[in-house]
Amino acid sequence: MDVRDLGVALWRQRPLVVLILVITGAAVAAGIALAPKSYAATATISAAEAPGVTAGEDPDALRATLAELASSRGVVDEVRDRTGTDRSESELRRSIEGDWVRGTILVDITVEDRDPDTAATLANTVASVLVDGDAVTELAGPSMGRALQLNTSDTARPPDTFTSPDLRFSIGLAIVLALGLATAAAVWRDRRTHTVDDAAAVESAATAPLLAHLSRPADLTTMPALRPGTAEADLFRHLRLALETQADAGSPRVVVAGITHGDVNVWIGANVALALAGTGRRVLLVDGRMGEQFGTPVEEGPDTPGLYDILLGADLETAVSPGPVDLLQVLPAGTLGDASIPELIAQRFPSVMGSAASDYDNIVVIGPPLDEGDDSRVMAVDSAIVLALVEGSVSANALRVHADRIRAVGGRLLGVVLVGREHDRKAA
């Protein structure tokens, strides 16, 4: 999926995208509001060089040491005594951080606490303990007191905002998470709910051409191919030309199948067969929908042999009957028995159709729906298949999956015929 397709999916699913963004934003806001917060207050000590410092003393090293002493046990004990805080020694040591600002004489003392006033009080107390010098002299020796002049240059004030959780990080993470979830959900839903209803959607999903876009007739028994000169007959002429090219390429057989239940593929297959026979070609129209669940049969007749019987060994000549025009023969589905239809198709269909190819220029097979099983795909192995779809009846993702599965078994997807969702009142 390229950037354009992604943008289209996001736009089509914009209510879902907005909903996810709102929910994610509300969840993050609630999480920040309910999360334990901590506040950081900073006091600053100036540590200037004292007059008469000996050459052996390094003021910067002493400032770094002073910063480290801020969270030492001795300083923390003194802070606890002065403030009477209920914080434990280990808790205080974790919350105090000293930092020498390199290139300056300043040492920052930062204290983090769940209460802003306590954080400021503790930071100022730590600075005061260090400046007083008794704890520093005890911990670092008298050399620091001789080398540095310590003063509190900036006292800590209670902070107005919390430092944890980090607002910038939390908001940034929320934006990334919300956009990621919204994009994934939009693409997932678009692939499953967006239906194909125009040439661009069909060709993008199937990676095959749209052979025709037909109006849906009010009566699927009408045969526009029998009325030369009409717009519908002209569209079937284009289909005929495509199938003739397929036959000239070495395979006279083509399967016309839908993805979902419906008889539009029967209507299309019958009209294509009529259009082929009208050019002087010998055509066999085969009803491959063996089973009552697949819709109206092409030809009905009690105890009439059909494809099922041929696959069991019956003679083809005894099963076919003349069509409505010269050179067209019809092979019905036949009377079903106990034999497994998928096994019969896999084992016998190619050889039976191969034998029939010697007597016919074109064989048009009306296949069962692809979402019912693999029968149509198996029938199209080493030949071609045309998919017949009604606008808005199949998702782009479903069409893509079926097209890939057809190619995976060795069938050639010749193209797609799209039929309008609404009835053509003129045809009625």
Is there a single domain that holds both residue 355 and residue 420?
Answer: yes
Q: According to the model, what pLDDT value does residue 134 have? A: 65
Is there a single domain that holds both residue 309 and residue 406?
Answer: yes
Is there a single domain that holds both residue 126 and residue 70?
Answer: yes
Is there a single domain that holds both residue 266 and residue 385?
Answer: yes
**Does 51 reside within a domain?**
yes
**Does 50 reside within a domain?**
yes
Is there a single domain that holds both residue 371 and residue 269?
Answer: yes
End-to-end CA distance of the chain: 41
Is there a single domain that holds both residue 51 and residue 175?
Answer: no
Is there a single domain that holds both residue 329 and residue 300?
Answer: yes
Q: What is the pLDDT along the chain (428 residues), one digit of tens a residue?
A: 557 667 877 887 888 899 999 998 899 889 888 888 899 999 999 988 877 655 456 788 888 888 998 998 888 998 999 998 888 889 999 999 999 999 899 999 999 999 999 999 999 999 998 888 666 666 556 665 567 788 888 999 999 998 888 888 888 888 999 999 988 888 877 766 777 888 888 888 899 988 888 888 878 888 888 887 777 778 788 778 877 776 566 678 899 999 887 788 999 999 999 988 988 889 999 999 887 766 666 765 556 788 999 999 899 988 999 999 999 999 998 877 788 888 999 999 999 998 998 899 899 999 999 988 889 999 998 888 999 998 888 888 889 899 999 999 888 898 899 988 776 544 43
**Does 139 reside within a domain?**
yes
User: What whole-number distance in Å separates Cα of residue 72 and Cα of residue 93?
Assistant: 7
Find the CATH number of the domain harbouring 134: 3.30.70.1130
User: What whole-number distance in Å separates Cα of residue 113 and Cα of residue 38?
Assistant: 5
Query: What pTM value is reported for the model?
Result: 0.59
Note down the domain range covering 29.
Answer: 3-35+165-190
Is there a single domain that holds both residue 328 and residue 418?
Answer: yes
**Does 60 reside within a domain?**
yes
> What are the distances in angstroms from CA 295 to CA 221, 304, 366, 390?
13, 18, 11, 16
Domain boundary among 127, 154, 181: 154
Is there a single domain that holds both residue 358 and residue 375?
Answer: yes
Is there a single domain that holds both residue 296 and residue 382?
Answer: yes
Q: What are phi and psi of 229, to 5 degrees?
A: 95, -15
**Does 160 reside within a domain?**
no
**Does 303 reside within a domain?**
yes
Q: According to the model, what pLDDT value does residue 116 have? A: 93
**Does 48 reside within a domain?**
yes
Domain count, the chain: 3
Find the CATH number of the domain harbouring 363: 3.40.50.300
Q: How far is CA 65 from the centre of its chain?
A: 56
Is there a single domain that holds both residue 181 and residue 205?
Answer: no
User: What whole-number distance in Å separates Cα of residue 91 and Cα of residue 114?
Assistant: 12
Q: According to the model, what pLDDT value does residue 425 have? A: 44
Is there a single domain that holds both residue 12 and residue 72?
Answer: no
